[in-house]
Amino acid sequence: MRAAATLVMVFGLVATLAACAPAEQSGDAKKASEGCTPSGSASESIEVTGDFGAKPEIKFETPLSVKKTERSVVIEGDGEKIENGSIANIDFTMVNAETGEEVSTTGHTEGTATPITVDEEQFLSGLVKTLECSAVGSRVVGVIPPADLWGDAGAEPLGVTGEQSLVFVADVLAIAEPPLERAEGTPQEAPAGFPTVELAEDGTPTVTIPDAAPPADLQIAVLQKAEGTVVEDGDTVTVHYQGINWRTGEVFDGSWERGEPTQFPTTGVIEGFQKALVGQNVGSQVIAIIPPAQGYGPQGGNDQAGIAADDTLVFIVDILATS
């Protein structure tokens, strides 16, 4: 996969939908990806009922499979149309086309919208082909073959094999503004006792941990104060971030190191990280010192990241967008 689940995320759905290494496309698939993906007998056979914005009821005869992605519009919206590169905020439900069983859903309730960058380099090509050309306010259905999903590997977390197609029903709620490239607020002095932060020309931070015991309570400070949109609880944010273990001084995770920002809901991260984001402004840079009780302590640590159950964490975050 091109993108791995971030260590701060508790719920890895968006990471599961991230683009895999590109499969060899047929001429038809290449042609379809250049414009609006056409409908077909499979997508037209899907019966989708329910109001836009509410969880749909999806019916079709199983087993169903396709060789290339098919796309049909169930409800035609009249808003701005999605183009390649757009960030679409959607609610969706995915169903195994062979078994008829639901494999994943955002729930289609307030605060569950997921941002999908409509770019086959970043997200599964079948999702991109289904969403591209759709207008805000539309409900679209895609029937997607393995080649436009996870290929022969399938997706074990979702119970989808490499031979099964998917039915993907999405409500296009909005098109988000493109994120900033980096924090652009007014520099602020960090409180005494905080780690020091030095920024490279591209904004990548180098963090030096004080030679002292960490504070016992959650500490949050703004290093660059901007006046952008305020992050609300339940928003989906786009950020650059870096996580450092206070005990070791080592970086254990970060988007700067991966070369691109990441997106996640504020409700899908550890408690201390959530509190560091909510109430802050887009364009700001924030530093948070997170004690074990609001980090990985309740989970007994994180062996993969070298985090013990009693480790304090430090996060530097550039808030680039929220929706």
- Please name which of 214, 174, 172 lies closest in space to residue 194, comparing C-alpha atoms: 214
274 to each of 72, 204, 295, how far by Cα in Å?
Answer: 38, 21, 10
Q: In Å, how far from its chain's centre is CA 114?
A: 7
pLDDT digits (tens, 9 = 90+) for 56-69: 999 999 999 999 99
CB atoms within 10 A of CB 67: 14
pLDDT digits (tens, 9 = 90+) for 189-210: 999 999 999 999 999 999 999 9
What is the predicted pLDDT for the residue at 112? 80
CB 241 within 8 A of CB 280: no
What is the predicted pLDDT for the residue at 157? 86
Low-confidence ranges of the chain (pLDDT < 70): 1-15, 20-34
What is the predicted pLDDT for the residue at 13? 59
Distance, CA of 188 to CA of 99 (rounded, Å): 56
What is the predicted pLDDT for the residue at 24? 47
> What domains appear along the chain, each with residue ranges and CATH number?
13-176 (3.10.50.40), 186-322 (3.10.50.40)
How much is the pTM? 0.67
